[in-house]
């Protein structure tokens, strides 16, 4: 379902007065639509095109919105009625295709409104008429002073500007002023003739500056007649409708008064709560001020610490630089010591190799000496054995009686002295 946004009217979603403003324009145009080919530019939801189709030979409703055209096709159907999607500045029909063209409340939505007027002039058949309407810029601005400008209106017209723009394209421009007016009606009963014999318009004519809307009937040839047209809505007794509306407003006002009293009670409670919150806020503000002072002191201390840290970092850099220089010196000294140590080690290794060769010779000599000792030990041992044998032999000889007898007689060796 299409929702009313303010860009185009949606029947059933707006108040009666606003709907009547739009329907009255189509009723005005219907008098000129009898048995004609009609184009309804910016037809919106299609309700106006449908009203024109009751009198015209053919009606085409055209709108730039696909959504609006779909809704029009679903809700308004007739054999002589069709809807198409196209912009008002580029209408896809041949020249002189329509006898009557209407464009209600669309020209103020366009930045290039002259393209709309050029299209209407191109499509209008000889003897045809173009009916166009727009709100009065001055009056519209006054009625919307609280709500603000209509966001869908690009350019609004004053009376003289509107007439001048239309006259650029159409030699004949008849201007009408559309207004809501108070009236007292005298209508026949349903069984009467249904004809209104007279129309009294009052003593003071309407002024363009104070009119609600401007409506123009334009043509490429001179036109005759511009009678006053009065649209009487089907809502019947307007005063009764307003009385019902006033009663409804009074009921709503009573409800709003009750709501206002509740709101006032809520407001009193809110004032109390506000006072409590204010006291709490003051307390928190004091706390925040103290905290801010502490924070300022902390920030000052941070700055001081940062300066001290920077100074210590500078000192540390100097110490590190000195240490690095000392390490470089030690590294060079260690390198020199390593080279000297290597030379000493190389010399010691050569000496050890030489000593090793001498030691090998000594070991070899020791081995030879050891063999000699072993041989001499064996010889000594064999010699000892021989001595012992000889001593035994000597002992035997000494103990022999033959030897003792020989000594007595002076024969044989003296074994004791030997």
**Looking at the predicted structure, is the pLDDT value of residue 191 above 70?**
no
d(CA 176, CA 25): 11
pLDDT at 337 exceeding the cut of 60: yes
Listed ranges 2-6, 67-71, 372-376, 404-408; the one with the highest mean pLDDT = 67-71
Among the listed residues 137, 94, 87, the one whose alpha carbon sits nearest the alpha carbon of residue 116: 87
Instruction: Give SS3 for 369.
Output: helix
CA distances from 379 to 281, 374, 375, 383, 390 (A): 126, 9, 6, 6, 16
Question: 81 in helix, strand or coil?
Answer: strand
Summarize pLDDT for 170-182 with one digit per residue, the tens: 999 999 888 877 6
Q: Which of 58, 35, 45, 33 is nearest to 9 (CA)?
A: 45
Mean pLDDT, to the nearest integer, of 58-62? 97
What is the signed CA dihedral for 44, 31, 237, 49, rounded to 10 degrees?
-20
DSSP letters along 165-194, please? HHHTT-SEEEEEEE-----------TTS--
CA distances from 401 to 29, 388, 407 (A): 197, 22, 10
Domain boundaries defined on the chain: 16-181+206-235
pTM, full prediction: 0.55
Residue 7 and residue 108 in contact, taking contact as beta carbons nearer than 8 Å: no
DSSP designation for 228? -
Name the range with the highest mean pLDDT among 39-43, 205-209, 250-254, 275-279: 39-43
Mean of pLDDT values over 364-386: 82
For residue 61, which of 37, 80, 81, 77 has the smallest C-alpha distance?
A: 81
- CA distances to 184, 213, 245 from 239, in Å: 9, 24, 9
Q: Residue range 93-108: average pLDDT?
A: 95
Task: Of 214, 148, 130, give the one whose Cα is nearest residue 175.
Answer: 214
Q: What is the spatial distance between Cα 44 and Cα 72, in angstroms, rounded to a whole number?
A: 8
The C-alpha atoms of residue 50 and residue 80 are separated, in whole angstroms, by: 9
What's the pLDDT band for 110 if we cut at 50, 70, 90?
Answer: very high
Indicate whether 297 pLDDT > 80: yes
Q: Which CATH superfamily is domain 16-181+206-235 in?
A: Vaccinia Virus protein VP39 (3.40.50.150)
Higher pLDDT, 114 or 318: 114
């Amino acid at each position: 379902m299409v929702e009313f946004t303010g860009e185009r009217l949606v029947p059933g979603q707006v108040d009666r007065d606003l709907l009547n403003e739009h329907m009255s324009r189509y009723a005005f145009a219907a008098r000129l639509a009898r048995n004609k080919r009609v184009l309804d530019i910016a037809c919106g939801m299609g309700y106006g095109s449908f009203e024109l189709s009751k009198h015209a030979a053919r009606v085409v409703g055209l709108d730039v919105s696909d959504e609006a055209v779909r809704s029009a096709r679903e809700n308004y159907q007739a054999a002589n009625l069709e809807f198409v999607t196209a912009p008002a500045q580029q209408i896809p029909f041949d020249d002189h295709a329509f006898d009557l063209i209407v464009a209600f409340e669309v020209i103020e939505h366009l930045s290039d409104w002259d393209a709309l007027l050029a299209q209407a002039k191109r499509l209008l058949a000889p003897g045809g008429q173009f009916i166009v309407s727009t709100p009065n810029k001055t009056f519209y601005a006054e009625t919307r002073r609280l709500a603000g400008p209509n966001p869908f209106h690009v350019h609004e017209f004053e009376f003289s500007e509107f007439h001048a723009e239309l006259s650029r394209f159409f030699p004949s421009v008849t201007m009408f002023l559309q207004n809501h007016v108070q009236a007292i009606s005298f209508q026949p009963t349903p069984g009467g003739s249904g004809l209104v014999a007279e129309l009294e318009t009052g003593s003071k004519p309407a002024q363009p500056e104070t009119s609600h809307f401007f409506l123009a009937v334009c043509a490429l040839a001179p036109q005759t007649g511009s009678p006053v047209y009065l649209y009487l809505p089907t809502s019947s007794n307007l005063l009764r409708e307003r009385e019902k509306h006033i009663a409804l407003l009074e009921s709503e006002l009573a409800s709003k008064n009750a709501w206002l009293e509740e709101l006032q009670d809520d407001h009193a409670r809110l004032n109390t709560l506000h006072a409590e919150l204010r006291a709490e806020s003051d307390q928190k503000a004091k706390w925040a001020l103290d905290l801010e002072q502490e924070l300022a002191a902390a920030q000052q201390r941070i700055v001081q610490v940062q300066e001290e840290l920077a100074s210590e970092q500078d000192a540390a850099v100097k110490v590190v630089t000195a240490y690095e220089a000392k390490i470089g010196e030690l590294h060079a000294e260690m390198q020199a010591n390593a080279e000297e140590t290597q030379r000493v080690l190389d010399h010691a290794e050569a000496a050890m190799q030489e000593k090793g060769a001498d030691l090998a010779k000594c070991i070899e000599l020791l081995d030879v000496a050891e063999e000699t000792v072993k041989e001499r030990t064996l010889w000594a041992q064999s010699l000892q054995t021989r001595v012992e044998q000889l001593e035994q032999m000597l002992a035997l000889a000494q103990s022999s009686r033959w030897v003792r007898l020989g000594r007595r007689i002076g024969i044989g060796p003296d074994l004791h002295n030997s």
